[in-house]
Amino acid sequence: MTTARHLGIDVGTSGLRLAALSGHGECLWLEKASWPAPPASDGHERPPAGWWAAFDALMRRLGGQGRLADIASIAFAGTSGTVLTVADDGTAEGPALMYDDPQGGDQLAALRALDIDPDAQLSALARWRFLAEGRGQLGRPVSQADWFVLRLTGRHVSDSNNALKWGFDAVAERWPAPLADRFGARLPEVHRPGTAIAPVTPDLAQRWGLAANVIVAAGTTDSMAALWASGATEEGDGVTSLGSTLALKLISTRPVSDAASGVYSHRFGERFAVSGASNTGGRVLATFFDSEELARLSESIDPEAPDTLGYWPLAGRGERFPVVAPAMGPRLTPRPADPALFLAGMLRGIARIEALGYRRFAALGGTTVRRVLSSGGGAHNPVFARIRERALGVPVTLAAHTEAAVGAARLAAVAMETKGAGR
Domains 6-223+404-417 and 232-398 share a fold: yes
pLDDT in tens, 91-104: 898 888 888 778 88
215 conformational bin, left if phi > 0, alpha if psi -120 to 50, beta if neither: beta
Domain-by-domain residue ranges, the chain?
Answer: 6-223+404-417, 232-398
Its pTM stands at 0.89
**401 with 229: CB under 8 angstroms?**
yes
Q: Identify the band that residue 308 occupies on the pLDDT scale cut at 50, 70 and 90.
A: very high
**194 with 373: CB under 8 angstroms?**
no
**Which of 67-71, 85-89, 292-296, 365-369 is the least confident region?**
85-89
Looking at residue 147, its amino acid is: W
**308 with 400: CB under 8 angstroms?**
no
Is residue 205 predicted with pLDDT exceeding 70? yes
Cα(232)–Cα(301) distance, rounded to whole angstroms?
Answer: 30
**Which of 20-24, 63-67, 418-422 is the least confident region?**
418-422
256 conformational bin, left if phi > 0, alpha if psi -120 to 50, beta if neither: beta
The number of beta carbons lying within 10 Å of the beta carbon of residue 49 is: 11
Cα(218)–Cα(196) distance, rounded to whole angstroms?
Answer: 6
Superfamily of domain 232-398 in the CATH hierarchy: ATPase, nucleotide binding domain (3.30.420.40)
Instruction: Annotate 293-305 with DSSP letters as a single string.
Output: HHHHHHTT--TTS
Burial, 33: exposed, middle or buried (Cβ in 10 Å; 0-12, 13-18, 19+)? middle
Q: If we measure between CA atoms, which residue out of 256, 246, 395 comes closest to residue 322?
A: 246
Q: Identify the band that residue 422 occupies on the pLDDT scale cut at 50, 70 and 90.
A: very low
Instruction: Annotate 362-414 with DSSP letters as a single string.
Output: HHTTPPPP-EEEEESGGGG-HHHHHHHHHHHSS-EEE-S---HHHHHHHHHHH
Query: Beta strand pairing status for 396-398 and 371-375?
Result: parallel
Cα(253)–Cα(247) distance, rounded to whole angstroms?
Answer: 20
- CATH code for the part of the protein at 6-223+404-417: 3.30.420.40
Is residue 276 predicted with pLDDT exceeding 80? yes
Looking at residue 117, its amino acid is: D
Burial, 102: exposed, middle or buried (Cβ in 10 Å; 0-12, 13-18, 19+)? exposed
Q: Rounded to whole angstroms, what are the CA distances from 215 to 17, 137, 139, 422?
A: 19, 31, 26, 13
